[in-house]
Amino acid sequence: MKKLVVKNSAAKKLRLFNPWVYQNEIAMLPQGLESGELVEVVNLKQESFGIGYANVHSVITLRMLSFVSETIDAAWIKNKLHRAISARNPIMEHSNACRLVHSEADGLAGLIVDFYDGVLSLAINTAGMERFRKEIIAALVEIVEPLGIYEKSDASAREKEGLETKEGLVYGEAPDLIEVLEYGCKFGVELGNSQKTGFYLDQRFNHGLLTEYIDEESTMLDLFCNVGGFGMHALNAGAASVTFVDISKSAIEQVKKNLKLNEFAAKRAVCVAQNAMDYIKEAAERKESYDIVVLDPPSFAKTKEQAAGAISGFKHLMLNGIKVCKPGGVIALFSCSYHVSMDDLIELSLDASRDTGVQLRVLEHLYQDKDHPYILNMPNSLYLKGLLFQRVE
């Protein structure tokens, strides 16, 4: 196996089991390296750090697969998949949908696998994982015995790796519409017509948790609702009404289908396809008020450089979110960007509290659900953070 030599700055991170090494942290690339090829990782003194795969087309040039020297082959892949999938058994007690493999956090950098009622959604996002495509599919078929496997790889991630876009059925069959059950609430998942790998499973626990604050008089504003995760659960828990807002027309169409699927009376829901940044400002001007306000925007900051702009977007949401929340009501604020941290959310909420003259009580700190594990050694694997506030009366 070819050797890749890292600089001391990378060696320090590798000793802390951080699996990513950037282009500028590499001292010497082996000659004739193919995209995604396995390499033994060593420092200038030839001390070994284990095995990874390298791709010169990517800024994250090296991703570690193992911190010891071992053979990475079909049996290794199958063993890793087996361990990841077995760890999810307790989650399947509440749902027929679950993330089975969460990339680096399951030791399989670049691979994501979701389970939706017998159908797998697969994302192979790096050149290194692409080389194991056949072995991954064969092992998933053997371990899970799925009805079908539908590939939904992340086009922008693959582009950064110099790979072509891939989407579609790669094994068996998959119905156009899969019915997912989450804490007794139904959602239709259309793999061919959905965001990311199908459904925002990372919010499952938080969807359920918010229902603790619902009674039959509750009204909710579900901003950036996607297919209605928070609002649908609120209606299922007996809420009087929910206003769903998302910029995506197809997400709002899916909300309408999910309302029918759960047999919720149409008068309990308002569905709006609009930019949520405008909607919330206009709602505050119209003096609308809700018992529960959910602010769950997409990743506003994909890089460190975008963090300042993202924070001002969050502040706009929080300022207006406070205005449309009834005194005593609840606001859930989320960031799914690693570059907007829990501390940032606290600081910008403090600013919004001062600017609106409203005190905020912290009820909960919220994170991604446990089928999206994160590893301490890789801080950016903890990407979803949230705060649940009560507007003090």
Ligand X SMILES: C[S@@+](CC[C@H](N)C(=O)[O-])C[C@H]1O[C@@H](n2cnc3c(N)ncnc32)[C@H](O)[C@@H]1O
Q: Residue length, the chain?
A: 393
Quick one: how far is CA 222 from the chain centroid? 18
Rounded to whole angstroms, how far apart are CA atoms 385 and 242?
23
Rounded to whole angstroms, how far apart are CA atoms 233 and 208?
7
CB of 255 to ligand X, least distance (A): 10
- Closest to ligand X by CB, 85 vs 225, is 225
309 touching ligand X, by CB under 6 A: no
CB of 77 to ligand X, least distance (A): 30
Among 38, 225, 322, 325, binds ligand X (CB under 6 A): 225
Number of amino acids touching ligand X (CB under 6 A): 19
Among 37, 106, 190, 296, binds ligand X (CB under 6 A): 296
246 touching ligand X, by CB under 6 A: yes
DSSP string across 12-39: HHHHTT--EEEGGGEEEPPTTPPTTEEE
DSSP string across 218-277: -EEEEET-TTTHHHHHHHHTT-SEEEEEES-HHHHHHHHHHHHHTT--GGGEEEEES-HH
Asked if 12 and 377 count as a contact pair (C-beta separation under 8 A), the reply is no
**Residues near 175 by beta carbon (within 8 Å), at least 6 away in sequence:** 119
- Closest to ligand X by CB, 312 vs 359, is 312
CB of 245 to ligand X, least distance (A): 6
Asked if 375 and 106 count as a contact pair (C-beta separation under 8 A), the reply is no
Helices 229-236/249-261 angle, 10° precision? 20
CB of 71 to ligand X, least distance (A): 39
Set 185, 225, 325, 336: catalytic member = 336
- Interface stretch with ligand X, choices 41-49, 175-183, 275-283, 372-380 (CB under 6 A): 275-283
CB of 211 to ligand X, least distance (A): 13
- Closest to ligand X by CB, 200 vs 374, is 200
Among 275, 303, 312, 380, binds ligand X (CB under 6 A): 275
Among 27, 247, 307, 375, binds ligand X (CB under 6 A): 247
Rounded to whole angstroms, how far apart are CA atoms 109 and 381?
11
CB of 81 to ligand X, least distance (A): 26
Among 110, 146, 148, 229, binds ligand X (CB under 6 A): 229
Contacts (CB under 6 A) with ligand X, residues 335-374? 336
**Any catalytic annotation for residue 336?**
yes
Burial of 96 (0-12, 13-18, 19+ CB in 10 A): middle
203 touching ligand X, by CB under 6 A: yes
DSSP conformation class of 202: G
- Closest to ligand X by CB, 148 vs 228, is 228
- Closest to ligand X by CB, 158 vs 204, is 204
CB of 248 to ligand X, least distance (A): 4
234 touching ligand X, by CB under 6 A: no
Residue 303: C-alpha distances to residues 299, 300, 306 (Å): 10, 9, 5
- Closest to ligand X by CB, 103 vs 194, is 194
- Closest to ligand X by CB, 62 vs 178, is 178
Asked if 31 and 81 count as a contact pair (C-beta separation under 8 A), the reply is no
273 touching ligand X, by CB under 6 A: no
Burial of 244 (0-12, 13-18, 19+ CB in 10 A): buried
DSSP conformation class of 103: G
Residues that bind ligand X (CB under 6 A): 195, 200, 203, 224-226, 229-230, 246-248, 251, 275-277, 296-298, 336
Which residues are the active-site residues? 336
